[in-house]
């Protein structure tokens, strides 16, 4: 806590919600696609517990906050977020009809986060909650961490937003400090014990990780937060393994209750929206030309500087990676945790920011699986081709499930909520990504369909050739029911002998015709071409038995 209450830009209450999307490795334990939470339930001694649905059946415990959150969304979004009725059953990993496909787990052993900044100052934040979201049918998880602080300077808040949510350093400074990261982050228990701390300064560990595994090392405190989930390259045992989906910098939501928000400069708002490093309030962090349309692209000012509004002096900022709400600290309509904009920020606004990042992560997961399937395809290996076909068909099914279950162009009817959701989608470019992934999967699916048709056509051609040449013998031996050898009254052993004597050559002749069916088909094409001379047709017949060079077919 920093004592500068007289400062008009002082942040009386600060909330930071970090979202960390993760891609989960395909389930190998038979729990079903996306049912990774069932494996988490079976892990012994793990700190995660499934979060009971806040939308309780008991009307006495159902609060107005729950009602306002529910009614903020359109019906199909309500079914995604909350399900229909109480459809939960006791089966591990089951997804009952009417149940929400979102499964939330929470750990309660971490009470505080103590962070040390590059200037040596340490600040302790309260950890409001640490949640892990799983999604039925999607190999994606999202870690959600909410922090709370009080009486912080605006520059300290900007620095926290800029430095805190770093999964790993991008490089190190000359003095050995990790660039853009905090000096230290410690997770504290309720009694003040240190549960885990960051290792940003362990430069050699990060270098060795990328050198050996071709994957970035996850900072120690973030890796601890996810246990028993383990990185996909880790040698540690774990039934659920994950890899990064996007950038090393986590998407972040921020709530700032400021003493005098009108005193914040344009440069201050730019730094908050773009998660820039702190700096002078009268100096823009980027050239003015690049910020000419900042207000149109990043700001929602429906309630900004509107003293007669029910939600006065509240400004929303959005840049895809950040969602920031700034308002007056002395306005209960802004700071109330049950009825004010703070309650709306932590619930309705949370989903407006959460859903586009879920969509982007799921699309990246599908695209990554498509690339992985192509990389493992060997067209000369029949088993590899069959595996590739199964993977593509499964990805097609996953994309259909995503499009119909998680993909929304509109989530709310209120103009303000629609605007914020569209801003997030535009910044994340999810519509373009969805279109590209859909086209990629469709291209692969069409390739498989065309390949199947080609194989069927080739089979039909071969069977037609065999039938045509077999027709000659059939007509010859069956003409008027003629029997060349009258063996009907011969002993049984003699008739069996003739049967076998005819059967073996017939089988051999049929198989040989199938082996030569492609060349025989070429001969029949030449024979039916009236433009070819007899010499060319005879050459085509001789070509049936001519040795062809390797790779010529």
Closest CA to 358 of 127, 64, 140, 77: 140
Residue 68: pLDDT band (50, 70, 90) is confident
With a CB cutoff of 8 Å and minimum separation 6, the contacts of 68 are 343, 344, 348
For every residue of 331-363, DSSP letters joined together read -HHHH-TTTSHHHHHHTHHHHHHHHHHHHHHHH
Question: Does residue 394 fall inside a structural domain?
Answer: yes
Whole-angstrom distance, CA of residue 362 vs CA of residue 368: 10
Full-model pTM:
0.81
Alpha helices in 259-381 (DSSP H): 266-274, 294-298, 332-335, 341-346, 348-375
The number of distinct structural domains making up the chain is 1
CB atoms within 10 A of CB 159: 22
pLDDT tops 80 at residue 222: yes
pLDDT for the residue numbered 110: 95
Contacts for 177-185: CB closer than 8 Å, 24+ residues apart: 177/118, 177/201, 178/203, 180/277, 182/115, 182/116, 182/117, 182/118, 183/116, 183/117, 183/118, 183/120, 184/114, 184/115, 184/116, 185/113, 185/114, 185/115, 185/116, 185/219, 185/221
CB distance 108 to 114 below 8 Å = no
DSSP conformational letter for 124? E
Residue 223: pLDDT band (50, 70, 90) is very high
pLDDT tops 50 at residue 92: no
Question: Does residue 363 fall inside a structural domain?
Answer: yes
Residue 4: pLDDT band (50, 70, 90) is very low
Residue 310: pLDDT band (50, 70, 90) is low
Direct distance between the N- and C-terminal alpha carbons of the chain, in angstroms, rounded to an integer: 77
CB atoms within 10 A of CB 116: 16
Residue numbers of the domain that contains 373: 349-476
CB distance 515 to 466 below 8 Å = no
Q: Which of 35-39, 325-329, 438-442 has the lowest mean pLDDT?
A: 35-39
Q: How do strand 49-50 and strand 241-244 relate by DSSP bridges?
A: unpaired
Question: Does residue 546 fall inside a structural domain?
Answer: no
Question: Does residue 211 fall inside a structural domain?
Answer: no
Question: Does residue 210 fall inside a structural domain?
Answer: no
Question: Does residue 449 fall inside a structural domain?
Answer: yes
Average pLDDT, the chain: 83
Question: Does residue 379 fall inside a structural domain?
Answer: yes
| pLDDT tens digits, one per residue of 270-300 | 999 999 999 999 999 999 999 999 999 999 9
Contacts for 61-69: CB closer than 8 Å, 24+ residues apart: 63/338, 64/338, 64/339, 65/338, 65/339, 65/343, 65/347, 68/343, 68/344, 68/348, 69/347, 69/348
Backbone angles phi, psi at 438, to 5 degrees: -60, -45
Supply angle C-alpha 244, 246, 251, rounded to 5: 110
Q: Which of 109-118, 323-332, 470-479 has the lowest mean pLDDT?
A: 470-479
Instruction: Compare 6 and 247 and report the one with higher pLDDT.
Output: 247
pLDDT for the residue numbered 358: 95
For every residue of 56-116, DSSP letters joined together read -S-TTT--HHHHHHHHTS-HHHHHHHH-SSS---SSTT---TTS-SEEEEEE-S--EEEEE
Question: Does residue 543 fall inside a structural domain?
Answer: no
Whole-angstrom distance, CA of residue 399 vs CA of residue 431: 14
Question: Per-residue pLDDT averaged across 54-78, rounded?
Answer: 75
């Amino acid at each position: 806590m920093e004592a500068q209450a007289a400062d008009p830009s002082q942040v009386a209450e600060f909330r930071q919600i970090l979202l960390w999307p993760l891609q989960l490795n395909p389930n190998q334990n038979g729990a079903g696609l996306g049912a990774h939470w069932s494996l988490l339930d079976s892990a012994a001694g793990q700190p995660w517990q499934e979060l009971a649905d806040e939308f309780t059946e008991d009307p006495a415990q159902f609060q107005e906050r729950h009602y306002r959150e529910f009614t903020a969304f359109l019906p199909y979004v309500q079914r995604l977020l909350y399900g229909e009725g109480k459809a939960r059953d006791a089966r591990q990993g089951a997804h009952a009809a009417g149940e929400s496909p979102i499964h939330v787990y929470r750990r309660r052993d971490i009470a505080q986060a103590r962070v040390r900044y590059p200037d040596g100052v340490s600040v302790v934040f309260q950890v409001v909650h640490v949640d892990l979201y799983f999604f039925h049918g999607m190999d994606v998880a999202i870690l959600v961490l909410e922090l709370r602080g009080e009486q912080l300077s605006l520059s300290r808040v900007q620095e926290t937003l800029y430095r805190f949510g770093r999964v790993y350093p991008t490089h190190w400074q000359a003095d050995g400090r990790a660039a853009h990261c905090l000096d230290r982050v410690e997770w504290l228990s309720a009694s003040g014990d240190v549960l885990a701390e960051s290792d940003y300064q362990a430069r050699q560990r990060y270098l060795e990780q990328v050198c050996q595994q071709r994957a970035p090392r996850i900072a120690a405190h973030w890796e601890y937060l996810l246990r028993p989930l383990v990185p996909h390259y880790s040698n540690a045992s774990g039934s659920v393994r994950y890899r990064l989906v996007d950038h090393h910098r986590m998407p972040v939501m921020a709530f700032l209750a400021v003493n005098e928000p009108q005193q914040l400069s344009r440069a201050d708002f730019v730094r908050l929206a773009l998660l820039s490093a702190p700096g002078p309030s009268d100096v823009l962090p980027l050239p003015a030309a690049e910020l000419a349309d900042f207000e149109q692209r990043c700001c929602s000012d429906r309630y900004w500087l509107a003293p007669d509004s029910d939600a006065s002096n509240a400004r929303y900022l959005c840049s895809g990676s950040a969602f920031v709400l700034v308002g007056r600290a002395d306005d209960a309509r802004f700071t109330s945790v049950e009825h004010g904009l703070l309650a709306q920020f932590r619930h309705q606004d949370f989903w407006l920011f959460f859903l586009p990042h879920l969509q982007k992560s799921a699309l990246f997961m599908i695209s990554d699986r498509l690339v992985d399937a192509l990389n493992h395809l060997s067209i000369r290996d029949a088993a590899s081709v069959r595996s590739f076909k199964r993977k593509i068909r499964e990805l097609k099914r996953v994309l259909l499930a995503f499009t119909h279950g998680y993909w929304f162009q509109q989530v709310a009817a209120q103009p303000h909520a629609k605007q914020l959701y569209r801003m997030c989608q535009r910044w994340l470019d999810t519509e373009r990504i969805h279109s590209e992934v859909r086209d990629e999967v469709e291209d692969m699916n069409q390739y498989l369909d065309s390949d199947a048709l080609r194989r069927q056509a080739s089979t039909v051609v071969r069977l037609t050739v065999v039938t045509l040449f077999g027709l000659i013998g059939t007509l010859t031996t069956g003409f008027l029911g003629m029997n060349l050898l009258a063996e009907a009254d011969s002993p049984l052993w003699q008739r069996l002998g003739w049967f076998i004597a005819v059967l073996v050559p017939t089988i051999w002749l049929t198989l040989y015709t199938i082996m030569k069916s492609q060349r025989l088909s070429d001969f029949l094409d030449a024979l039916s071409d009236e433009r070819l001379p007899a010499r060319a047709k005879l050459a085509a017949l001789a070509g049936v038995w001519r040795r062809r060079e390797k790779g010529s077919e």
